[in-house]
Amino acid sequence: MSKILAITNQKGGVGKTTTTVNLAASLVAAQQRVLLIDLDPQGNATMGSGIEKRDLQASVYDVLIARKTIAQARQAAGAGGYDVLPANRELAGAEIELVDVLNREMRLRDALQLVINEYDYVLIDCPPALNLLTLNGLCAAKTVMIPMQCEYYALEGLSDLVNTIRKVRANLNPVLEIEGLLRTMFDPRNALAQQVSAQLEEHFGDKVYKTVIPRNIRLAEAPSYGVPALVHDKTSKGTTAYLALAAEMLQALTQTTVAI
Ligand code: ATP
Ligand code: MG
């Protein structure tokens, strides 16, 4: 069964895109077939995967308005080894175009059905907003990964997001679950970060990934080369952390399968 994850947090700049791109490459390194869906008009995951967002023949926008299928709009992210359903600024118009469309929040989910058997993992990079695009991501997904920085206001935003996920589950996507909270850009020397991290573990228990993503310059540099950190510097701390995250996810999967 394919795993479909929405990587989401309405807060900007918390590491959603960095996580989506590097997790995609790390899962490929673990022999998984991966589709990355860029649902953000900023197109950062597209560019970070080495695809020029200004030159797209087709994008996730065409898929949402049912002008193209995913098979027609996807591209290979050469270096990362995964497929990308790319995005650019055009996607910002989708919200308005879909206003009168029935089941407009199910567009991505429906389109995904046609290709889902080709992938082990589908990772959806959501924009920093709880809008129709994110809603499409949450309706297509089975689980949600929440990247977050361990700072004071992070916890406040988290309860809004958890409430949204509850509402989506109640009204639109009954199977939706939180897969895990991921601590990103972590600096162990920062006392507040340690404190927030401990609070997260206390409140969310095993929903917090054991793997912590450190602040690492290679992760910030890699997008300027259009490659995941794994390709840019395979020994960097950032690369190692995302490989560990992929391993943690795959191990959790085997354990659940055995439990059943
Ligand atoms: P947005 O909400 O705008 O989509 P985002 O949540 O996708 O942002 P990113 O774009 O992944 O966040 O990260 C924000 C910035 O922080 C980027 O410049 C990225 O390169 C940098 N960054 C992300 N994770 C790390 C890390 N672990 N170490 C160092 N820099 C990082
Ligand atoms: Mg982003």
Which ligand 1 atom sits closest to the C-alpha of 214? Answer: 27
Domain that holds residue 69: 3-259
Residue 259 pLDDT > 60: no
pLDDT of residue 100: 84
pLDDT of residue 61: 97
| Segment 96-114 mean pLDDT | 92
pLDDT of residue 159: 87
Sign of CA dihedral 250, 255, 258, 260: negative
114 lines ligand 1 (CB under 6 A): no
Residue 260 pLDDT > 60: no
Helices 237-259 & 16-29, crossing angle to 10 degrees? 70
Q: How far is the CA of 8 from the centre of ligand 1 (A)?
A: 13
Number of domains in the chain: 1
22 lines ligand 1 (CB under 6 A): no
Question: In this structure, what CATH number is given to the domain that contains residue 211?
Answer: 3.40.50.300
Strand, coil or helix: what is 184?
A: strand
pLDDT of residue 1: 84
Q: How far is the CA of 87 from the centre of ligand 1 (A)?
A: 17
15 lines ligand 1 (CB under 6 A): yes
| Segment 149-157 mean pLDDT | 86
Strand, coil or helix: what is 227?
A: coil
59-82 residue pLDDT tens: 999 999 999 999 999 999 989 999
Tokens at residue 163, please? Answer: 């409430």
Give the chain's end-to-end CA distance (angstroms, integer).
14
Question: Could you tell me what percent of the chain has a pLDDT over 70?
Answer: 98
Q: Give the residue whose CA is nearest to atom 25 of ligand 1.
A: 185
pLDDT of residue 258: 53
Rounded to whole angstroms, the Cα distance separating 203 from 95 reads 35
Rounded to whole angstroms, the Cα distance separating 211 from 229 reads 17
Q: Give the residue whose CA is nearest to atom 13 of ligand 1.
A: 15
Which ligand 1 atom sits closest to the C-alpha of 21? Answer: 11
Residue 256 pLDDT > 70: no
Which ligand 1 atom sits closest to the C-alpha of 44? Answer: 10
101 band by pLDDT with thresholds 50, 70 and 90: confident
Q: How far is the CA of 126 from the centre of ligand 2 (A)?
A: 7
Rounded to whole angstroms, the Cα distance separating 9 from 14 reads 8
195-242 residue pLDDT tens: 999 999 999 999 999 999 999 999 999 999 999 999 999 999 999 999
pLDDT of residue 152: 83
220 lines ligand 1 (CB under 6 A): yes
81 lines ligand 1 (CB under 6 A): no
DSSP letter for 208, please: B
232 lines ligand 1 (CB under 6 A): no
Residue 133 pLDDT > 90: yes
Burial track 100-128 (b if 16+ CB lie within 10 A, e otherwise) = eeeebbbbbbebbeebbeebbbbbbbbbb
225 lines ligand 1 (CB under 6 A): no
pLDDT of residue 257: 52
Using alpha carbons, list the distances in angstroms from residue 119 to 24, 33, 82, 125.
Answer: 12, 5, 10, 16
| Segment 152-176 mean pLDDT | 91
Residue 124 pLDDT > 60: yes
Are 131 and 12 a contacting pair, CB within 8 Å? no
Enumerate residues 6+ apart whose C-beta is below 8 A from 205. Answer: none
| Segment 79-103 mean pLDDT | 92
| Segment 95-118 mean pLDDT | 93
pLDDT of residue 254: 76
Q: How far is the CA of 166 from the centre of ligand 2 (A)?
A: 23
Amino acid residing at 249: M
Are 50 and 80 a contacting pair, CB within 8 Å? yes
pLDDT of residue 95: 85
Q: How far is the CA of 126 from the centre of ligand 1 (A)?
A: 13
Rounded to whole angstroms, the Cα distance separating 159 from 31 reads 35
| Segment 76-104 mean pLDDT | 92
Phi, psi of 223 (to 5 degrees): -60, -30
| Segment 18-37 mean pLDDT | 98
Q: Where are the alpha helices (DSSP H) in 98-236?
A: 107-113, 132-140, 152-171, 191-204, 217-221, 229-232
Q: How far is the CA of 67 from the centre of ligand 1 (A)?
A: 31
Rounded to whole angstroms, the Cα distance separating 7 from 134 reads 10
185 lines ligand 1 (CB under 6 A): yes
Are 81 and 35 a contacting pair, CB within 8 Å? no
